[in-house]
Every structure is written in C-alpha cells, then in structure tokens.
Amino acid sequence: MNVNMRRRFGPVLLAVLLGLLATSLAGCGVCGLPLFGRLPSPTPTALREYVVITPTPLPPELVLEADAEEQLLINVYKRVNPAVVNIRVVKLVDSEGLHPEVPGFPDLPGLPEEFYQRGVGSGFVIDTVGHIVTNNHVVEQADEVQVTFHDGRMVRAEVIGTDPDSDLAVIKVDVPGTALHAVELGDSDTLQIGQRAIALGNPFGLRGTLTTGIISALGRSLPLGRASAVLGARFSIPELIQTDAAINPGNSGGPLLDSQGRVIGVNTAYDPEVSGVGFAVPVNTVQRVVPKLIADGHYDYPWFGISGTDVSLDIVEEMDLPVQHGALVLQVTPGGPAERAGLRGSDTTVERKGQELEIGGDVIIGIDGHKVQQFEDILVYILRYAEVGQEVDLTIIRDGREQSVKLTLGERPR
C-alpha cells in the first residue's frame, strides 16, 4: 500500500478494526449472542422480538359459528352422557352351537365343549326406576351383566326382556332414582337425511365416547350382508337409520342423538369392512317395543308367513306384469296365515344373464289401500298399524290380473 492509499484508507481500517474488537468483547449485536463463552437460554422476550406470528384471519361470523357448534356438542355431552352406561357381560358358550360365519365365534380345533365368553356394549337409562335399553345381541344368553355408570359406579343388572327381531333388550339395575339420569326420547318419524347425528357409547370399552356425523339414509333394513351375521337376525329389521357417525364394537346399544340431545335411535350394527356405514334402530320402534319388554319380557309381532323379494325389471319382463312395483312372494310357510289365505309362492326358476330368477308367485301391490312399492313396505305396515289376529286386505297380481285377498295375521314364531 503506497503512502497515498494509507493516508486515504488508514483511518477507515482503524475504525473497522476497533469496531470488530468492541463487538468481540460486547457480543454480537445482530443475533444477541456472545461470540465466546456459554450460550444463554432464549427468553420469551427475545423470541417475541424476532418471531412474528400472523395467524390466518377468519371472518368473525365463521368463528362464532364454529364456537356455537363446539358449545352445542359440549352441552349435549354434559347433559346426556350421565345417562349412558357401559355394559359388560359373561356368558357360558356351548362350542357345538357356534357359527363360524359369526365374528368372534371361530370354528377352532380343540375348543372345549363349554367356555366363558366376555363382551362389552352400551346402554342408556330411560327412567328413574332403573330400566336401561340396549341391544339384544349385547345381553343375549348372558349369565352375568354388569353396568358401569359415567362416574365409575358399578352394579349388577338383570335382563328384563329381549326381542331378537328388533335387536332390542331391557335390563334393570337396583339404584336409587335420585342417582339416575334418564334420556329424553325424540321422534324418528320427523328425521331428515342430512341432519346431525351424535353417537354416544363405549367403543372398544372406551367409556364416554362421543362421535358425530349425519343421517346418511332412512328406511334401511337388516339383515344386510355381514351385519346380518353379527346380529344373527332371522327376520328383517325395517326402517333402520343409516349414519356415518363412527359406530364400532362396544357402541352397540348406545343412543344416537339429534342436535337437542334427544334419542332418535339405538346404535345397532356396522359394516366392519366399510367405513362410515352404521345403523340404528329408530326410537319410535323403541317406544313401541320396550314397554312390552318391561311388562311381558317379549314382544308379539303380527306375521304373514311368507318370504319375498322386491319386484325388479327382470321379474316384470319374465312374468309380463302390468306393474313395475310390488313384492313377489317366493315361499309360503306351511300352515301359516298366508297359506290359509291362499297366497301362492314362486313355482318356476329361470336363468337370466347367468343368474337364477324365481318367478311365478303372487305379487302384492297393496295392503289396506296402501301402495306396496317393495317388500319392506309390508313389514313396515304390519309393524306400525296391525296386530296379531287382525284381518288385512291385500291387492295382488296373479296370472297377470289384479285380485283381492283377505289375510288374518298370525303371531310371528319366536
């Protein structure tokens, strides 16, 4: 460096060197940390100075709506959960009577002739006398029933009445009425697809669980595929509520609620291979069946004595029917009400596009002036409006012509 350059830049370099020396002694002014020695722990003040949090803004009305939704569910849970119970059962099982197709009942070699099986389910208190509603398949053939309340209190329970054909049951506990919280029952006839559905219960034994969804469909019937094996159903259960609120093992017997916390159904079945498909017995069925279970221990169903199927387009074409709706009678139970009334079952089997099709039986298109669109309409009508011993007027299609047949309903075999 020549003399002129030293004269020009000398003071500047000196200033820079002095600044660096001062910084090394005082610490780094940019990052707030010393260059030598131990590093101090960061403080909230330091973080606030250099980390600026800017949450995504939401319109105030959306925040209020979300808060209202949360408060609704919180309120429903606090009000209704004290009425929901966990049910544990013990039953002595005869291995010779097991069905391999039913989950939990494997056909295993070396299985003892008898063994104890344990299961869990849910239920809900309906009065201050101690009656609790649950599913029949939860307590069926139980040798011991134990109920656990929301506060951890445990008591024994007695099975009062069961109805396999609606999958409902009533058990009773000996607890002071002042210690019981009962649910409020709603009206399942007013339900609409798309409205909120709230399920309470004990999935996998996890007490006090709440899940939410919507009513996905109405008027379903079981047995339906694998769900029929779970229920062991002999007759169809009509008018079931379909929901996407999570229903899992242990939820069975728990309440399905509306937004007001009223019971609209009893969680009953789910498809283990399809998520978001659960079923509940409608509360109006509960209100019709449960009083009989409490009084008599069973429920007497009116009975046709037929098996049948919905009329399909293939059936219409093969039988040359003048209508495109109705219920085709496939079989008539010997000695049953339908046989006494002269109804005829299918007598011919045809092959259509690789599938066997039963045809030739009577097609029921009306009952007491009500149109029959499908087989389930007959079940719904007699369960809602008819009694054992009542005479009903059927409108049928036989040999291509419309006829009227009178049938006296019998009592469904137990």
C-beta atoms surrounding 123 within 10 Å:
31
Residue 66, SS3 per DSSP? helix
The whole-angstrom separation of Cα 116 and Cα 93 is 6
- Structure-token pair, residue 325: 């709706």
267: exposed, middle or buried (Cβ count in 10 Å: 0-12, 13-18, 19+): buried
Side-chain-side CA neighbours of 257 within 13 Å: the count stands at 26
Pairing of strands 131-134, 168-173: antiparallel
Q: Can you tell me whether residue 304 is helix, strand or coil?
A: coil
Any idea what the Cα angle at residue 255 is, between residues 122 and 119, rounded to 5°? 15
Cβ-contact 218, 191 below 8 angstroms: yes
**Residue 217 belongs to what H/E stretch?**
strand 209-222
Query: SS3 of 26, please?
Result: helix
Choose the catalytic residue: 122, 131, 163, 167.
167
Enter the tokens of residue 32: 């707030």
Beta bridge partners of 121: 87
**Rounded Cα gap, residues 336 and 2, in angstroms:** 125
Does residue 300 have an active-site annotation?
Answer: no
Please report, for residues 160, 163, 241, 290, 340, the alpha-carbon distance to residue 266 in angstroms, rounded to integers and kept in the order given.
18, 14, 9, 12, 36
Is 167 a known active-site residue?
A: yes
Taking a C-beta distance cutoff of 8 angstroms, is the pair 131, 123 a contact?
A: no
For residue 352, give Cα distances in angstroms to 309, 321, 357, 362, 363: 17, 17, 7, 20, 19
3-state secondary structure of 52: coil
Annotated active-site residue in 252, 258, 362, 377: 252
Q: Which two tokens stand for residue 249?
A: 């093992």
The catalytic position among 122, 131, 137, 163 is 137
325 given a catalytic annotation:
no
Q: Please give the C-alpha separations between residue 278 and each of 190, 241, 257, 307, in angstroms, as whole numbers.
A: 20, 8, 14, 26
**In whole angstroms, what is the distance from residue 320 CA to residue 318 CA?**
6
In single-letter form, the type of residue at position 298 comes to H
- What amino acid positions are annotated as catalytic residues? 137, 167, 252
